[in-house]
A and B are shown apart, each in its own frame.
Chain A
Amino acid sequence: MLIALAAFVILRTAIVPKSFGEYGHFRGAAIAEIAAKPIVHAGHQTCETCHTDIADKKKTGKHVVVACEACHGALANHAEDPSIQPAKLDTAVICARCHEENSAKPKWFPQVVTAEHSGGLACDTCHQPHTPKIETDKTAARDAGGKH
């Protein structure tokens, strides 16, 4: 009986991880392991430490609340190594993700039917994405070119 008990204790000590039961009925070390996962989205505060000009520009428009990576995608690798350049965005696709008209969207949110609104033109033909109100100089240039 004693031998069996001793064998059980030795086996249990060998098998059960040291951190098991540290916080509850689980392996406590798992918390730190999960927390150590690398970050993929840098976060807008990190972007704004370098791109202060864009941050200042955004403050003047409605997109002040939109984080950089909402449009530009995950860019922790760029924050870590600025020589890694983010891909150029196609505004005809990116802007439509939010602003394409949909009956399920809240009524207060600005929406357009892009096929009618721009006829497939890229949105930055007229709008500056960081301060999205219509830019008169861009509109004039577009009209002079006979587009739209």
Chain B
Amino acid sequence: MLLPAAAVAWKYVLAGTPEEAPNYKLTEHWWAMLIDVTKCIGCGSCVRACAQENDVPEGYFRTWIERYHVSDWKIERPEVESPDGGKQGFPAGELSDGKTFFVPKMCNHCADSPCTQVCPVGATFITPDGVVLVDKKYCVGCRYCVQACPYGCRYLNPKTNTADKCTLCYHRITKGLTTACCEVCPTGARQLADLKNPKDPIHEFLKTHTVQVLKPQMATGAKVFYNGMDGSVR
């Protein structure tokens, strides 16, 4: 029986030898993510799935959703809210003026990440396939990286007292699966992308859409691309 790549990987997971899942080479991938703001419905599925998949402590978030309200007369000062990270969705709310929309946020897995540069012990690093990870065994919990991240994507895990963050579900993507947040997104607002794979639809999407990254002025080499994002988003 011809199985999809993810199901093939699953056989190895069931056999207790996930590291033997075939066809993964570090240098053949360069992971990124595409977030289509025009498709996000703020359901919170991604936040819940991330917390479950990665055992994220209550009150901490590796991904979260923000609801922006941009008034007609305060375009540069939008109101932003994210109750419980958007985990349980958002209350309806009345729209008096302006516009309102959801923006999912997460680690941008920067190619030139400030968090990696400030780590004094080499506990934070970028893998050859473009994912910023934390080595729990090496982290001393100094919090430099938490302060250095311009996107607020890091926290100190209260269980381990080490820095923690989105791993881009590294344990999944290395086995041919997509991330938990992409898996459960009901509208396809989140798409995992492999920039080194010439067949990945991301290339066509980037060519034909106006995408941007968060805080481009920081020159972090952010690899989370946003489509349809309003200029007021910070």
- Which residues from chain A contact B43 at a C-beta distance below 8 Å? 97-98
3 closest Cβ contacts across the A-B interface? A26-B125, A30-B135, A103-B95
Which of under 10, 10 to 19, 20 to 34, or 35 or more describes the interface residues of B? 35 or more
Q: Which of B141-149, B151-159, B185-193 contacts A (4 or more CB under 8 A)?
A: B185-193
Question: Of the 9-residue stretches A4-12, A17-25, A137-145, which lies at the interface with chain B?
Answer: A17-25
Decide: B125 and A24 in contact? CB cutoff 8 A.
yes
Q: Across the two chains, which residue of chain A brings its CB closest to B103?
A: A104
Is the CB–CB distance between B7 and A46 below 8 Å?
yes
Which residues between 57 and 110 of chain B lie within 8 Å of chain A, taking CB atoms? 67-69, 89-90, 92-95, 100-102
Interface flags, B8-45, vs A, CB<8A=1, else 0: 00100110001100000010000000000011111111
Interchain CB contact (< 8 A) of A101 among B3, B92, B170:
B92
What is the total number of residues of chain A having a CB less than 8 Å from a CB of chain B? 44
Which residues of A does B touch, CB under 8 Å? Answer: 20, 23-27, 30-46, 49, 65-67, 69-70, 73-74, 79-80, 97-98, 100-106, 109, 113
Bound complex: CA of A38 vs CA of B30, how far in Å?
22
Q: Is A104 a contact partner of B67 (Cβ separation < 8 A)?
A: yes
Specify which of A33, A42, A98, A104 lies most central, judged by the most chain B CB atoms within 10 Å of its CB. A104
> B135 near A106 (CB under 8 angstroms)?
no
A32 touches B19 (CB 8 A): yes
> Does B122 have its Cβ within 8 Å of any Cβ on chain A?
yes
B160 in contact (CB, < 8 A) = no
| Alpha-carbon gap, A97 to B184, bound state (A) | 13
